[in-house]
Structure 1
Amino acid sequence: MLIAAAIACGTCTAMAQDMSGTPLRSQAIGENIYRVDGGIANTGFVIAENGVIVIDAQRTPAEGAAQIALIAATTPRPIAAILLTHADPDHVGGLPAYPDTARIIAHENSRAQILAAANADDGGPFFGPLYKAVASSRMPHQVIGATERMVLAGTRVEMIYVAPAHGSGDLIVYFPDHRVAFAGDIVLTDQGRFPSIRRGGSSLGWIEAMQTILALDADVIVPGHGPIAPRARLEIQLRDAIERRRAIKQMVEEEKTLDQIDAALPPENINPRFPSFNRTTYDELVKGYPEQVPPWHGLTERP
Structure 2
Amino acid sequence: MATIEKRSGHWRARVRRGGVDRTETFRTKAEAQAWATQIEAELSAERRGEIPDKSFGDLLRRYADEIAPSKRGGDKEVLRIGRTLERDIASVHLRDLDERHVAEWRDARLKEVLSSSVLREWTTLSNACSVAIREWRWLRTNPFTIAKRPAGQPARKRRPEGGEMERILYALGYSEDSPPVTKTARVGAAALFAIETAMRESEIARLEWSDITGRVARVRQSKSDDAHHQGRDVPLSTEALRILARLPRTADDPRCFGVAAKSIDALWRSGKKKALVDGLTFHDLRREATTRLSKKLDVLQLARVTGHRDLRVLLRVYYAPDMQDIAGMLD
TM-score normalised by length of structure 2? 0.22
Larger relative contact order (CA 8 Å, sep ≥ 6): 2
Greater helix percent: which structure?
A: 2
Greater strand percent: which structure?
A: 1
